[in-house]
Chain A
Amino acid sequence: MGGNERVDVLIIGSGASGAAMAWSLADTRMRILCLEQGDWIKSTDFPSNGRDWEARRYTDFDISPNRRGRDTDYPVNDDNSLMKIANFNGVGGGTVIYTAHWPRMHPSDFRVKSLDGVADDWPIDYWALERFYDENDRMMGVSGLTGDPGVPPRNPPMPPIPLGKTGTHYAKAMNRLGWHWWPSDTTVATTAYEGRAACINLGHCTPGCAQGAKASTDITYWPLAIRAGVELRTRCRVREITTNEHGMAAGAIYYDADGREHFQPAEVVIVACNGIGTPRLLLNSASARFPNGLANSSGLVGKNLMLHPWPIMYGYVEETLDGGRGPITTMWSKQFYETDPSRGFVRGYTLQFGRGTGPATEAISSAAAGRLPWGRDHHRIYRELLDHRVLIGVACEDLPEEHNRVTLDPGLKDRNGIPAPRIDYTISENTRRMMEHGITRAEEILTEAGATRLHASRTALNSPGHLLGTARMGDDPERSVVNGWGRCHDVKNLFIVDGSIWVTSGGVNPTSTIQALALYIADQMKQRLATLFD
């Protein structure tokens, strides 16, 4: 086994939270190393450079690691889950292939037990995170519009993405219904911003932005962190975190690109591997001292997995809209976000209004849904679909349930022989009622917008890829894995900073909050450097 020089801080994972941690901790002048199992992705690698741009969404830029199957991916057994797992393994992690939606959690999301009597309150609240949300918005570069009555005040540094024909069409319908809507906050740059060019509407945001207008941490946090002295080592797949005779984390064993095993000693270990990768790593780090997995005296590592059920309602209007020639993000509605007991469920959801798709994607998805026939009618029907699509996603809050969990698969392994994660997940009755409520409201909106051929997809394939809750925060070591500032109750020099630590999920895309939390934890660590392990 190769040995390496000891570092002060070892961060495992370079995605949303790992990058924010690295950048924030860099000003301590500690020696910081990040191990990333994937590669740097160049802008010329992204699908929208080539004529096969749509097809590559189903191959090397698929959001499912099982289908993508890169050397840098690990398999996930998600057979026992209606919702399939999405992620990306590379510098930037999931931010490389997210849609760049940028809602924040609401204040009520941190107090679900107190306000609605379900799940648990977080050990921190929105207001503790507010300045870190703001800092992160500046770092990632957010486009949006102040004044939204549906969310707490915030000040996006760039103007919103245009409404376009599609957004205008939705807005008219929403105004007729008298329901709230607002242009979505997004990390797609609408002006030149910190070295990023403004969006030129490639329309293919999710599988990576060739223009560099979409913020991903490989082009936002990482260049600054590396310039400040942080080392980022790619193609390093961590097998386990080891501990010393005092029960403290000693470092990590990893494999390099050639399969050689190394040990990286560290004073502090920070895990940033997402809500699937983090419990997998902790469970794979079982030892005589920690027989049920590292930091798992509560038995909650891997439990309370939340995946955000996300029904999508589609329809088609007569008017020709934007199609796929712009970011898919347009606007959101918070009309049904806060709890209203008369609806038959607690908590709520965001409605997200999308634009259309490219020509092949429209054909493939419509054929799969039975809208587009084969044969002589194909061409006529297709022309009624392309650029006429309207769609609304229902971003449902997923409540924590211990039976929804990540464990180690007894047989499946990655290319290095490391046991792969297995997912067991069902959708709760509360969430099902919420989904049906949202689908019905979306149907009303699309009908008001003049849409026909309505179709509801209750569990979008491999979407949305929000991996939350499997190493939750809390003040009680018997009911949580980390404390209110990300330190493991059981191992005092081991921190977790990704979506694993979420207590509840809210009804929003999580990246903004994941990063605000990471910046908050980094700040807490910096304030406690002299007493970090007490």
Chain B
Amino acid sequence: MGNTAETGLSATELRDLSDIAGTMIPESPAFGVPGADDPAILGDIARSLGRDLPLVREALAAIAAKSGSAFTGMDRDRREALINDYYAGGGAAVAALGRVVLGAYYRDDRVLLALGMEARPPFPKGHTLEQGDWSLLDAVRNQPPFWRDDRAATTGKR
């Protein structure tokens, strides 16, 4: 995980972020994926805050306030309910928190491989896109033109 100097978060905030991220996206042995509190993913989240740092700090503080500074001690159902309620309420802070957590989580090699995707950027390999069924266009090809032709009135520069 990124240290505090690297991320701009205090040690307490990093610990809170870990608890919150792990609640937002928990580990799932059934789907073969780590949680967002996995050290590598959490480090990526923390290093990716950038211009969202003030908003994420605001979100962490808001969650702490809503939980009476006892988020970690709450049971899982209550933690999930708190996060979902807070997120549903909207606002720039919680949106930023969600964006940085999801952005880092869904580029982790293990997560992408578990989804059946390759762990790589789009370029330079690209992807294959099948042509699809062009015979479906036959139903449209034979329609008469139906755009409005204004030339009955005038043409060219008026």
Contact = CB atoms under 8 A, between A and B. Distances in A.
B147 A338 contact: yes
B153 A210 contact: no
Contact of B127 (A125, A165, A203, A376): A203
Contacts of A528: none
Given A108-B148, A128-B156, A48 B132 contact: no
A73 to B, nearest CB: 13
B64 interface: no
B19 to A, nearest CB: 13
B149 interface: yes
B139 interface: yes
A107 B150 contact: yes
A359 B139 CA distance: 35
Interface residues of A, number: 77
10 contacts: A55-B100, A55-B104, A107-B150, A108-B150, A125-B156, A125-B157, A150-B145, A337-B147, A359-B107, A374-B80
Interface string B70-109: 0000001001100110011000000100111011111100
Contact of B157 (A124, A204, A211, A337): A124
B99 A162 contact: no
Given A202-B123, A338-B147, A360-B107, A163 B131 contact: yes
Interface residues of B, number: 67
A175 B136 contact: yes
Contact of A54 (B107, B120, B137, B149): B107
A162 B130 contact: yes
Given A54-B106, A360-B105, 15 more contacts: A51-B107, A52-B48, A58-B99, A125-B155, A127-B151, A128-B157, A149-B141, A152-B149, A161-B129, A162-B132, A337-B147, A360-B107, A368-B95, A379-B33, A484-B157
A379 B99 contact: no
A229 B51 CA distance: 41
A358 to B, nearest CB: 8
Interface of B: 23-26, 28, 30-31, 33, 48, 50-51, 76, 79-80, 83-84, 87-88, 95, 98-100, 102-107, 111-112, 115, 117, 120-134, 136-137, 139-141, 143-151, 153-158
B144 A386 contact: no
Contacts of B133: 163, 168, 171
A54 B104 CA distance: 10
A279 B103 CA distance: 37
